[in-house]
């Protein structure tokens, strides 16, 4: 990760320790499955900001060509990691941590 990326992360999120940023990036890249990264990105899109988890799972099952149960498992994992916020009947929200991770792994 270059110094420009570190300075952008510092400006956006207030972190200025390049070792912390690099470690977080590596952890996110290695720990998150491809589908989880795709889900996180999909949730972050503006046109999806008002959709419930049920609606997103239905759409993503067609877009990503995977079962709804697999998507629910991935949604719950992202929720447990604090990357998304799911509240029954309300739109799914990507957390600040989720946006930070997306920025680090280059998915936004």
Residue pLDDT tens, the chain, 108 long: 455 555 666 666 666 677 877 787 888 888 899 999 999 999 999 888 899 999 999 999 999 999 999 999 999 999 999 999 998 889 999 998 898 888 888 765
> Domain-by-domain residue ranges, the chain?
3-105
Q: What is the pLDDT of residue 1?
A: 47
User: Topology of domain 3-105, per CATH?
Assistant: Arc Repressor Mutant, subunit A (1.10.10)
The four Cα atoms 57, 62, 68, 70 give a dihedral, to 10 degrees, of -100
Among 98, 91, 95, 96, which residue's Cα sits nearest to residue 50?
Answer: 91
Q: What is the pLDDT of residue 7?
A: 61
Rounded-to-integer distance, Cα 45 and Cα 33, Å:
19
Among 21, 97, 78, 89, which residue's Cα sits nearest to residue 52?
Answer: 89
Q: What is the pLDDT of residue 107?
A: 66
Is the pTM of the predicted complex or chain greater than 0.95? Answer: no
Q: What is the pLDDT of residue 53?
A: 95
Is residue 71 within 8 A of residue 60, CB to CB? The reply is yes
Among 34, 1, 29, 36, which residue's Cα sits nearest to residue 15?
Answer: 1
Q: What is the pLDDT of residue 56?
A: 96
């Amino acid at each position: 990760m270059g110094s420009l990326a570190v300075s952008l992360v510092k400006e956006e999120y207030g972190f200025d320790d390049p070792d912390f940023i690099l470690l977080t990036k590596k952890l996110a890249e290695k720990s998150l499955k491809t589908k989880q990264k795709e889900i996180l990105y999909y949730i972050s899109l503006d046109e999806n900001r008002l959709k419930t988890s049920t609606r997103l799972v239905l759409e993503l099952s067609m877009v990503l060509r995977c079962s709804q149960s697999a998507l629910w498992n991935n949604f719950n994992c992202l929720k447990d990691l604090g990357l998304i916020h799911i509240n029954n009947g309300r739109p799914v929200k990507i957390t600040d941590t989720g946006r930070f991770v997306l920025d680090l792994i280059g998915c936004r």
